[in-house]
Amino acid sequence: MTTAAPETVETTDPSALEAVFDAAVAADERIEPRDWMPDAYRATLVRQMAQHAHSEIIGMQPEANWITRAPSLRRKAILMAKVQDEAGHGLYLYSAAETLGTGRDELLDKLHSGRQKYSSIFNYPTLTWADVGAIGWLVDGAAITNQVPLCRCSYGPYARAMVRICKEESFHQRQGYELLLALSRGTEAQHAMAQDAVDRWWWPSLMMFGPPDDESAHSAQSMAWKIKRHSNDELRQRFVDICVPQAESLGLTLPDPALRWNEERGHHDFGPIDWDEFHQVLRGNGPCNEQRLDRRRKAHEDGAWVREAALAHAAKHSAPEHTDRTEHPEASA
């Protein structure tokens, strides 16, 4: 009679593995890349992290549109730093997704062929300079509200990436607020420009939290796995409650006649969201969907030589005969 050692049983029996995973999630421990995890957990994370990474790099486009036209050197430097941060966020997240066994090439291919989505907010155009402020204040603000709870996500690499991303997002939100404040306190025309931008970005930023809880396909399972910590509607409410006093300090009006404090609930009530618009943009019919994807594909093609050069460089340096010492004898002392 042969019996397997107990540890072998533990690492191959699917129900035992699942029990170890469930216990770790229940105890608020982190799941790491080498740990066993259910296939559906892995697939959900890859889908969410890919969509998140895609949003970071597509999100560079609407604001990059204003870099050459920023009204001062200071504003230009801030905007360039912000757009570069977004590229960095994309890199952290693609790297985090790679720890689940899904390569960056595969994810980019899915983005370019329309098989994976990015946040619909980036399919709206940036018509004036004030849009840079409205994006920072509202879009980065909504992103922070969504992402701070992800710092406690059950998957370790995703949670750790979010810690750094959230620090940078808070700079993005502040620069947007400060930009809008300067415009709001400026000339009448500048104030009107700031108000117009807020009028256009307010509702799409509320849509960033996703469909209402009763229509959200993935929410319940994601919350059980502690990938998500709060529901879409909870986060949306939190965001509205944060924005109302900030809009007041900015001297700007949020474009919702139904917006008012509800003493009983301890929250602001707000008007209905146009979910038809949300689904139209999601389906590819937003004002800039085509332009965003075309530009992304072209940027990828234009960057092919950089990827080839980086691979050639890495191959050369990993070759056994290659050492710096033969080229730089002074370094061998």
Chain residues that interact with Fe ion, rule: CB under 5 A: 56, 86, 89, 140, 169, 172
Q: How far is the CB of 72 from Fe ion (least distance, A)?
A: 21
Taking the least distance from each CB to Fe ion, the nearer of 84 and 262 is 84
Query: Min. distance of Cβ 273 from Fe ion in angstroms?
Result: 22
Nearest distance in Å: CB 90, Fe ion? 8
Based on CB atoms, which residue is closest to Fe ion, 135 or 198?
135
In the complex with Fe ion, which residue's Cβ is closer, 104 or 164? Answer: 164
If the CB atoms of residues 85 and 256 are measured against Fe ion, the closer one turns out to be 85
**Cβ closer to Fe ion: 56 or 256?**
56
- CA dihedral sign, ordered 198, 200, 206, 210: negative
Q: Decide whether 53 or 252 has the Cβ nearer to Fe ion.
A: 53
- Give 306: exposed, middle or buried? Use CB within 10 Å, 0-12, 13-18, 19+: exposed
SS3 string of 222-265?
HHHCCCCCCCHHHHHHHHHHHHHHHHHHHCCCCCCCCCEEECCC
Minimum gap (Å) between residue 89 Cβ and Fe ion: 4
Beta-carbon-side half-sphere exposure of residue 269 (alpha carbons within 13 Å): 9
Query: CA end-to-end span of the chain, whole Å?
Result: 62
Apex 248 CA angle, 80 and 142, nearest 5: 45
Looking at the chain, the number of H-run helices and the number of E-run strands are 16, 2
CB of 10 to Fe ion, least distance (A): 40
* Nearest-angstrom CA–CA distance, 155 and 175: 30
Q: Least separation, in Å, of the C-beta of 87 and Fe ion? A: 9
Q: Which residues contact 16 (CB under 8 A, 6 or more apart)?
A: 9, 10
3-state DSSP assignment of residue 267: strand
| Cα gap 280→83, rounded to integer Å | 27
- Closest approach, Cβ 118 to Fe ion, in A, equals 12
* Nearest residue (CB) to Fe ion, 140 versus 256: 140
